[in-house]
Amino acid sequence: MGANYGHMVDVNDVTEHADLAEGTPAGTRREFAPDAPPDGARFDPSDTRQAHAYGERGKMPRRPQGILRLGHVDTTVTDLDLASAYYTGVMGMEITARTEDSVYLKCWDEEDHHSLRLRYAPRQGMDLMSFKVHHEDDLADLENKVTRYGFPVERISKGETLGQGESVRFATPSGHLMELVADVEKVGASGRRRTPDPATDDQPFPRDKICPPRLDHMLINAEEVGESTQFFMDVLGFRMTEQLLDGNGHQLGSWLERSNSPHDLAIVHGPNGGLHHFAFWLDDWDDVRDAADVLAYNGIQLDVGPTRHGITRGSTIYFFDPLGTRNEVFTGGYRPDPDFPTLTWTEDNIGRAIFYYEGQVNERFMRVHT
């Protein structure tokens, strides 16, 4: 047969193979490749522990390894009680832990300990953005890549950060502090994961709260969008789904993903270290419309929307929390498969790229950041 396989088994002499078709001819032989998983076992290419167990052959499918998704956003607030009241009473998040200077919150359908940390500080801002990786092995791999790029990396020991294990932290070219972590405490989803029965159930959530199921993405500012984009792509393995170019072909914005969504992270031109917004996922347009009612009912200042983006094709509302940090609720978009091409918009069409219905961008949206 040409190939030198490790061993061969006569199928007709093996009774435990229940997946064989009835009537398999006598003498049929089953071939086993070297370093193959045990017969009947499933090989998960994203599991680096399996890859080590099954040898170099198991290390070949690299794409699913590394960063998994946005884990949590850590912000600073000047009034911890007011911020907590807003994110619980209007957004509908729930508190999972509280310390002397911080409040940890999650959405109802999130399993991990928290997706938002509010920390008291004299100045409103962003502490860090934390992304979850598949396994502990990925921390060392990405730590080496960041170090080779020229940025120092700090190891945070298990127990130093509430709700999670060991992590690595480093600065990005845009001046943001980024964290990567694999081991996160699971507290479980708190909402019901079933279709409400109109005969027996009230409304699934109170209509004076938005109650998003999860955190979706964030958008940061960078003075050199192109440099930051290349860092996230070349070093951290992000893929660019869309970009916005000026008349000279320089990037004004880029939209990057790791979770087969339109974007987990976006970068737009602005001051280094700036946070433009972080966004919560809603399931459909009706939820976006209901969110607008909740925001109006609670007197929350709207920035833009309800409307739709050209970039990402998502339906959206932008608004500010009481301390001035911009939030977004977002739904829709598309699924970018591995062969999805990068979509390019140009500055002369920036209005429709950002807000497709209005065709123009207001000055506050472009200039205001945390």
Please give the model's pTM, rounded to 2 decimal places.
Answer: 0.80
- Where do the domains of the chain lie? 1-41, 67-190+201-367
What residues pair up with 320 in beta bridges, in sequence order? 326
Q: Which CATH class is domain 67-190+201-367?
A: alpha beta
Which residues does the annotation mark as catalytic? 217, 263, 277, 309, 318, 328
Rounded to an integer, what distance in angstroms lies between the CA atom of residue 189 and that of residue 93? 12
**What is the average per-residue pLDDT within 313-339?**
95
What is the SS3 assignment for 179?
strand
Alpha carbon distance 190, 197 (integer Å): 18
Q: Which residue bears the tokens 């608004």? A: 319
Helix (H, G, I), strand (E, B) or coil at 51: helix
Q: Above pLDDT 90, what percent of the chain?
A: 72
Average of pLDDT values for 124-147? 95
Q: How far apart, in whole angstroms, are the C-alpha atoms of residue 43 and residue 47?
A: 8
- With a CB cutoff of 8 Å and minimum separation 6, the contacts of 94 are 88, 105, 106, 107, 108, 190
Per-residue pLDDT, 119: 98
Confidence of residue 310 (pLDDT cuts 50, 70, 90): very high
- Tens of pLDDT, residues 216-263: 999 999 999 999 999 999 999 999 999 999 999 999 999 999 999 999
Please give the C-alpha separations between residue 191 and each of 94, 104, 160, 202, 205, in angstroms, as whole numbers. Answer: 11, 18, 29, 14, 9
pLDDT-derived band at 336 (thresholds 50, 70, 90) equals very high
Element (H, E) at 142: helix 136-149
Q: Token pair for residue 170?
A: 């480093």
- Residue range 175-181: mean pLDDT, rounded: 98
- Interacting residues of 83 by C-beta distance below 8 A, sequence separation 6+: 77, 103, 118, 321, 322, 323
Average pLDDT of every residue of the chain: 85
pLDDT in tens, 51-64: 444 444 444 444 44
Distance of CA 131 to the CA centre of its chain: 7
In this prediction, residues 158-162 reach a mean pLDDT of 92
Residue 109 has pLDDT above 90, yes or no: yes
